[in-house]
């Protein structure tokens, strides 16, 4: 202990004499600024209840650290009665507002800069803490604090309450962010961050930690958004997470455990990632929905892909997977619209309610496809070493193409029960245990070449004259109304006046559905609200997200729908009775009101510079009058945007006196061309204030 104390004194002496040493309790609001750099945390720093620690851009914070491994963490990273741990920490019962800039980030690192594997403690946001915010911060070399035998929070940011973390850099932390033993509903937004390992962890440490770790608790309906982050060689483990959207994962693992909430894994990129996804509830209670992800791997990543465990409900759709979907015999759900290829192990395993509209191509070893699920429909299984391990149960195989596989079965015996094959295209004879339900087509290698657009390069759209056109089963009762391209599923593509479903995942020459498209935005600022979850008729499996610019599009059959929109730290919104017409996209603009409790930035109505903003008529054709009032004279900008957030025209940019004013828009863009019917926004800015409203042009 004396050696550590001497080393700390030596290190403190090496810093500038202008540095500030901090420890103990902050009992009043405090601001740290770069003029006082560096701040040296030499004891546990407590941010007391109701207190805010503001940290300005460019501030540098150095925290005392200790060697972290299996032998030292209990001694140097633990409270022992009244004795503090050697590695210091922040204990936050109030809040921290640490908002740097892209040019001037805020640094949290160890004092012992040249001491490999030295770690400081954590920033602990306790169950009493208010909402903290970290933006453009850099976190280096954080670890764990043992508060007691059962409570050992970890991470640069250890969360028991709510937090916003945006555009931060996490390097060489045992855990980047951890939600640990929360006792209140956690709301957390983690967006635009970067997580990596450089120095690594002491090899004498058995737990290397994770980039993000969210504990799962049945009684806590957490609302957590993980969006547009990048993870390098750092595993992630998520409990009751709502949305994992548009992230990039490189190496290591990816784990989800869901008990009571629907989880969404949408539009992410995975490279050499071994996943383990566990749902523990039925569809009515919770499920995991995995859509539009790209999963790639090199030859060294054995058994990469999506692994679904336990008895829960899963829907896996619209993914491109270099690797398989590996499930259990007691899984539930749907596997649809996926392209699986070049797997080092298997193509598809597990049992599901339905497996449809998938392509499994060029899987190198066993392809355990045909066992246990209720129905296999409109799949292409082609160019694999084995078509399947076994054919089991009394499953129905209809409208599938099973050709060009080197072997039919991987094992003997190979058929259990009496599965039914009907309206399939095959290049092998059915085993005698299987039932020929009729409509099957047997082809040789030459005929197989003539089924698709480009069989050699993996394009399995049907070619003109293909044997698969109008050759399927169950034309009228087919409940899945679109093909793999989200075109009409049953269509008279060959013009013979007979609309029969095609065999395979694509319907020949059929038109696309219409649907909804639009924009999610903040009604106060007019800025886009990114990564909003949009559910059709509040069905968890019918969903999409708006992108980083607030834009979204979702294909739907003609009909009337209610659109449910939600995002953490925003009010939930419902757009009722949105009508969709075949072949057209209905435009909707969804206003997402922010509910972050930041009293420092609230503006009371009496302080508003702009008031009485409206337009008349609305809807309008061909012109409308936009009215507003100013409390004080000011320069005013009034701009029109379309539903995608693109500028249409600027109506005014000039000085106005106080009082009431009116500006007319004639429905033309900046080039003087008439714009089309649809939703438009008008955004007015005066001084530091901005307001946005929408209007509808109907021709």
Q: What is the DSSP string of 302-316?
A: TT-EEEEESS-EEEE
Choose among 541, 568, 564, 560: nearest CA to 552.
Answer: 564
pLDDT-derived band at 598 (thresholds 50, 70, 90) equals: very low
pLDDT-derived band at 4 (thresholds 50, 70, 90) equals: low
Q: Which has the higher per-residue pLDDT, 182 or 221?
A: 182
Written as one string, the DSSP assignment of 597-662 is --GGG---GGG-SEEEEEEESSSBSS-EEEEEEESS-EEEEEEEEETTS-EEEEEEEEEE-SEEEE
pLDDT-derived band at 557 (thresholds 50, 70, 90) equals: very high
What is the per-residue pLDDT for 368? 52
Q: Which has the higher per-residue pLDDT, 29 or 260?
A: 29
pLDDT-derived band at 215 (thresholds 50, 70, 90) equals: confident
- Give the three-state DSSP class for 280: coil
The string of pLDDT tens digits covering residues 480-521 is: 789 999 999 999 988 888 899 999 999 999 999 999 999 999
Token pair for 82: 């009244």
What is the per-residue pLDDT for 353? 83
For the ranges 237-251, 296-310, 451-465, which has the lowest average pLDDT? 296-310
For the ranges 104-113, 149-158, 210-219, 462-471, which has the lowest average pLDDT? 210-219
The string of pLDDT tens digits covering residues 577-590 is: 999 999 999 999 99
The string of pLDDT tens digits covering residues 312-327 is: 788 999 999 987 888 7
pLDDT-derived band at 626 (thresholds 50, 70, 90) equals: very high
The string of pLDDT tens digits covering residues 417-450 is: 888 999 999 999 998 888 999 999 999 989 999 9
What is the per-residue pLDDT for 373? 63
Q: Which has the higher per-residue pLDDT, 363 or 570?
A: 570
Q: What is the mean pLDDT of the chain?
A: 87
Q: What mean pLDDT is predicted for residues 639-651?
A: 87
Token pair for 88: 């210091």
Q: Which has the higher per-residue pLDDT, 122 or 475?
A: 122
Residue 393 has pLDDT above 80, yes or no: no
Contact yes or no for 228/548 (Cβ under 8 A)? yes
Q: pTM for this structure?
A: 0.87
**Dist. CA 130–CA 3, nearest whole Å:** 38
- Give the three-state DSSP class for 10: helix
What letter does residue 72 receive in the DSSP assignment?
T
The string of pLDDT tens digits covering residues 32-77 is: 999 999 999 999 999 999 999 999 999 999 999 999 998 888 889 9
What is the per-residue pLDDT for 662? 95
Q: What mean pLDDT is predicted for residues 522-530?
A: 88
**Dist. CA 414–CA 561, nearest whole Å:** 46
What is the per-residue pLDDT for 240? 67
Contact yes or no for 558/529 (Cβ under 8 A)? no
Residue 375 has pLDDT above 70, yes or no: yes
Q: What mean pLDDT is predicted for residues 475-479?
A: 75
**Dist. CA 632–CA 659, nearest whole Å:** 8
- Give the three-state DSSP class for 651: strand
For the ranges 107-121, 152-166, 320-334, which has the lowest average pLDDT? 320-334
What is the per-residue pLDDT for 218? 55
What are the E-state strand segments in 512-609? 514-521, 533-536, 543-545, 551-556, 559-566, 573-580, 585-591
**Dist. CA 519–CA 589, nearest whole Å:** 5
**Dist. CA 290–CA 14, nearest whole Å:** 52
Residue 606 has pLDDT above 50, yes or no: no
Provide CB contacts within 8 A for 600, sequence distance 6+.
none
**Dist. CA 597–CA 164, nearest whole Å:** 12
Share of residues in the chain with pLDDT > 70 (%): 88
Contact yes or no for 509/491 (Cβ under 8 A)? yes
The string of pLDDT tens digits covering residues 158-212 is: 999 899 999 999 999 999 999 887 766 788 999 999 999 988 778 888 877 889 9
**Residue that is written with structure tokens 């296999």 in the block:** 376
Q: All domains of the chain, ordered by start, with CATH?
A: 1-12+19-184 (no CATH), 353-510 (no CATH), 514-591 (2.60.40.1120), 603-697 (2.60.40.4070)
Choose among 263, 326, 319: nearest CA to 295.
Answer: 319
Token pair for 623: 């012109």
Give the 3-state secondary structure of 97-142.
EEECCCCCCEEEEECCCCCCCEEECCEEECCCCCCEEEECEEEECE
């Amino acid at each position: 202990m004396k050696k550590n104390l001497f080393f700390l004194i030596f290190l403190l002496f090496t810093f500038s004499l202008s540095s500030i040493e901090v420890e103990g309790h902050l009992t009043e609001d405090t601001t740290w600024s770069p003029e006082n750099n560096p701040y040296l945390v030499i004891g546990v720093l407590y941010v007391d209840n109701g207190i805010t620690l503001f940290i300005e851009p460019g501030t540098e914070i150095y925290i005392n650290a200790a060697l972290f491994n299996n032998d030292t963490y209990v001694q140097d990273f633990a409270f022992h009665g009244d004795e503090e741990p050697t590695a210091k920490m922040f204990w936050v019962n109030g809040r921290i507002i640490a908002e740097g800039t892209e040019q001037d980030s805020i640094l949290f690192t160890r004092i012992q800069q040249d001491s490999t594997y030295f770690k400081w403690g954590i920033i602990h946001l306790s169950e009493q803490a208010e909402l903290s915010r970290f933006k453009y911060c850099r976190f280096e070399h954080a670890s764990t604090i043992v508060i007691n035998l059962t409570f050992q929070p970890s991470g640069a940011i250890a969360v028991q309450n709510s937090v916003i973390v945006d555009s931060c850099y996490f390097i060489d932390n045992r855990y980047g962010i951890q939600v640990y033993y929360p006792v209140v509903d956690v709301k957390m937004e983690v967006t635009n961050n970067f997580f990596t390992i450089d120095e690594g962890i002491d090899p004498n440490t058995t737990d290397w930690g994770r980039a993000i770790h969210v504990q799962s608790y049945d009684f806590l309906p957490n609302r957590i958004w993980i969006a547009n982050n990048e993870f390098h060689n750092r595993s992630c483990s998520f409990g009751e997470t709502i949305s994992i959207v548009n992230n990039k994962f490189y190496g290591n693992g990816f784990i989800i455990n869901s008990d009571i909430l629907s989880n969404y894994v949408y539009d992410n990129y995975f490279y050499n990632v071994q996943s383990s996804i566990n749902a523990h509830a039925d569809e009515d209670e919770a499920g995991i929905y995995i859509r539009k992800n790209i999963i790639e791997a090199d030859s060294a990543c054995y058994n990469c892909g999506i692994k679904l465990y336990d008895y829960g409900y899963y829907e896996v759709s619209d993914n491109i997977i270099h690797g398989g979907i590996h499930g259990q015999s007691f899984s539930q759900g749907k596997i649809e619209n996926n392209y699986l290829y070049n797997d080092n192990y298997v193509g598809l395993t597990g049992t599901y309610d339905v497996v449809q509209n998938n392509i499994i191509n060029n899987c190198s070893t066993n392809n355990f496809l045909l066992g246990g699920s209720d129905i296999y429909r409109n799949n292409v299984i082609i160019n694999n070493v084995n078509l399947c391990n076994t054919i089991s149960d009394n499953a129905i195989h209809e409208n599938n193409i099973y050709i060009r596989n080197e072997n039919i079965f991987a094992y003997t015996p190979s058929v259990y029960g009496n599965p039914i094959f009907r309206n399939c295209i095959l290049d092998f004879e059915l085993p005698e245990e299987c039932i020929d339900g009729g409509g099957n087509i047997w082809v040789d290698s030459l005929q197989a070449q003539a089924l698709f657009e480009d069989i050699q390069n993996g394009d399995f759209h049907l070619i003109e004259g293909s044997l698969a056109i109008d050759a399927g089963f169950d034309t009228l009762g087919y409940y899945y109304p679109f093909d793999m391209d989200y075109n009409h599923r049953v269509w008279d593509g060959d013009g013979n006046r007979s609309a029969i479903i095609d065999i395979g995942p694509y319907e020949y020459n059929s038109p696309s559905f219409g649907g909804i498209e639009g924009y999610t935005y903040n009604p106060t600022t007019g800025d886009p609200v990114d990564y909003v979850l949009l559910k059709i008729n509040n069905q968890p499996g019918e969903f999409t997200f708006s992108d980083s610019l607030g834009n979204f599009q979702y294909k739907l059959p003609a009909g009337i729908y209610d659109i449910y929109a939600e995002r953490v730290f925003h009010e939930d919104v419902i757009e009722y009775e949105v009508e969709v017409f075949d072949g057209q996209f209905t435009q909707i603009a969804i206003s997402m009101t922010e509910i972050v409790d930041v009293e420092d930035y609230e503006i009371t109505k009496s302080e508003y510079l702009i008031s009485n903003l409206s337009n008349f008529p609305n809807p309008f054709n061909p012109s409308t009058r936009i009215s507003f009032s100013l409390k004080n004279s000011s320069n005013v900008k009034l701009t029109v945007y379309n539903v995608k957030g693109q500028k249409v025209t600027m109506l005014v940019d000039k000085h106005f006196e106080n009082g009431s004013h009116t500006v007319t828009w004639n429905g033309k863009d900046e080039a003087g061309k008439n714009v089309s019917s649809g939703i438009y926004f008008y955004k007015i800015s005066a001084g530091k204030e901005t307001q946005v409203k929408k209007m509808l042009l109907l021709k």
